[in-house]
Amino acid sequence: MTVAVLTGIAFVLVLGVMVGAARPRRASGASDFYVAARAVPPWWNGAAITSEYTSAAACLGTAGLIATHGSPMLWYPAGAAAGFVVILALVVAPLRRSGTYTLPGFAEWRLRSAALRRFTTCFVLVVGLAFLVAQLHAAGVVVRLLTGLPPWLGWVAVASAALTVAFAGGLGSVTSVQAAQFWLKLTVFLGVGAVCWWMAGSRPAAWFEGAYRAGGAGLAGAGDPSLPGVLSVLLACALGTAGLPHVVVRVYTSRDGRGARRSIVATQVMLAAFCFVPPLYGLLGSAHVQGAAADEIVLLLPATLLSGPVGEVLTGLLAAGAFAAFLATSGGVLVAAGGALSACVTRAGVRSFRAAVVVVMLAALALTAVSSPGVSVALVLLGFSLSAATFCPMLVLGIWWRRLTDAGVAAGFVAGGGVTTVLVIAEQAGVKMGALTSCPAPVAVPVSFAAMVATSLVTPGRVPQKVGRMMARMHLPEHFAGPPTYRSSRGGDRPS
């Protein structure tokens, strides 16, 4: 089995590096690296968004939660669909017209505050690191479980491949890798799942009658089968998706606003196709893989149902599909976090971008080394919860409410992010307050919105003077507002 697994992993990583490096390396400015020169077709962009969204949590963790906690976990994938509806309805068109292609850039442009830009960058890094550490931990789980090798080899493999792709062409290279690997992931997971289902026959059918193995709630509400727990995850995923840095930047990779909207629609279609994967493996795992951790159930399934070379080959294919998911998500998050950091600390250029992505990845590796494995789903949900309680209120109010101020956004970040952090720490420390600790999103999101609105109302003097022009630019059709001026670069290397 070790040979098949290592072969599959090596194939995916080498293929990813080759596809990423095959892009033209002529960089005319920051736009080539940050937003793929705004030249990605909608269907290709949709495949890339879906690929980075279907991360370790979707491929391994969610299926494991369905297997261990039963049918209530089937609602988890629905949060993604709701999130992209929010993006399409409230965010895509106005955000693109604003001319800012990072969340810190939008904060500085809309609220006229360089300090708020730096504050927003800090939260972008926290959310980005949560996603990166989740991918690295999941890669370590795959390597340790299927080969017996040290987990750090999986961390280093994913980190090295993601850095190589990001260095080759920034988001342009990452987009090519993600789009190609989406179809690889979809084919592998559905193909192996179909074979496993055929071998299992009809034995798992009774699982839907309601019997499932009990399990406790985890970090950020992960695995809580109660109604409040499921609803909190849906809320976190729906509102968190609308503010994820690596999703928001995709608004600018299309040629125009119409292409950006079509990209989101394509994402919803492709995501619907991939949503068959977690229930399929969760159903099979519940019936045939007993006593394993949630993140391990999918990987152990083929060898449990099929002994000999066939089971080994199928396990190797699943390992390849899993590493495709790790690399796709890691690359997108790395570019988004590195781009925000480089634009905040220094002049936005290719050199500063490359330095920033190295810093971000080294920080992720350090955090992975000092944290415990098996928390990929929990970290992803934590990232969603923080995004829902900080970035989503800033975008919604910044786009649709002219009286928002920089002080209001800062207060909302402190309140929403603080409530989420306190409740998660309380949960991990053993302090049980029911839904308050296991499900922070329903508490943190309203608190953040309320803090932003209340603080803005008591600081009317901090409303930007040209707020009327900014609102008009975001809400007038593009042909009336004129060609957009991209404002996220800060001198020197301004995107074309």
pLDDT per residue as tens digits for the range 164-178: 988 887 778 888 888
pLDDT in tens, 204-247: 444 444 433 444 444 444 566 777 777 877 888 888 888 888 88
Give helix then strand counts, H and E, for the chain: 24, 0
Q: What is the pLDDT of residue 414?
A: 97
Give the dihedral sign, CA 268/270/272/277.
negative
pLDDT higher than 50, residue 77 = yes
Which of 316, 303, 314, 301 has the alpha carbon at shortest distance from 10? 316
Q: Where are the alpha helices (DSSP H) in 242-349?
A: 245-248, 257-274, 277-288, 297-305, 309-345
pLDDT in tens, 390-404: 999 999 999 999 999
475: which 2 tokens? 């809400």
Q: What is the pLDDT of residue 210?
A: 40
Could you give the angle at the alpha carbon of 319 between the alpha carbons of 325 and 339, nearest 5°? 25
Evaluate if pTM is beyond 0.75: yes
Task: Tell me the mean pLDDT in the region 257-264.
Answer: 84
Work out the pLDDT band at 374, boundaries 50, 70, 90: low
Question: 16-25, 217-226, 294-303, 384-393: which has the highest mean pLDDT?
Answer: 384-393
Give the contacts of 421 (CB within 8 A, at least 6 positions apart): none
Mean pLDDT score across all residues of the chain: 82
23: which 2 tokens? 């892009």
pLDDT in tens, 309-330: 888 999 999 999 999 989 999 9
Q: Which amino acid is present at 153?
A: L
Classify domain 2-376 by CATH number. Answer: 1.20.1730.10
Q: What is the pLDDT of residue 431?
A: 74
pLDDT in tens, 146-167: 999 999 999 999 999 999 988 8
Q: What is the pLDDT of residue 208?
A: 43
Determine the Cα–Cα distance for residues 135 and 450; give it in Å rounded to an integer: 33
Give the contacts of 321 (CB within 8 A, at least 6 positions apart): 12, 59, 184, 185, 188, 189, 192
Distance separating the N- and C-terminal Cα atoms of the chain? 50
Q: Which amino acid is present at 183?
A: W
219: which 2 tokens? 């970090």
Contact of 341 with 125, CB cutoff 8 Å: yes
Share of the chain above pLDDT 70, in %: 84
Q: Which amino acid is present at 201?
A: G
Query: Domain coordinates of the chain in residue numbers?
Result: 2-376
Q: Which amino acid is present at 474?
A: M
Q: What is the pLDDT of residue 247?
A: 85
Angle between helices 114-147 and 391-400 (to 10 degrees): 140
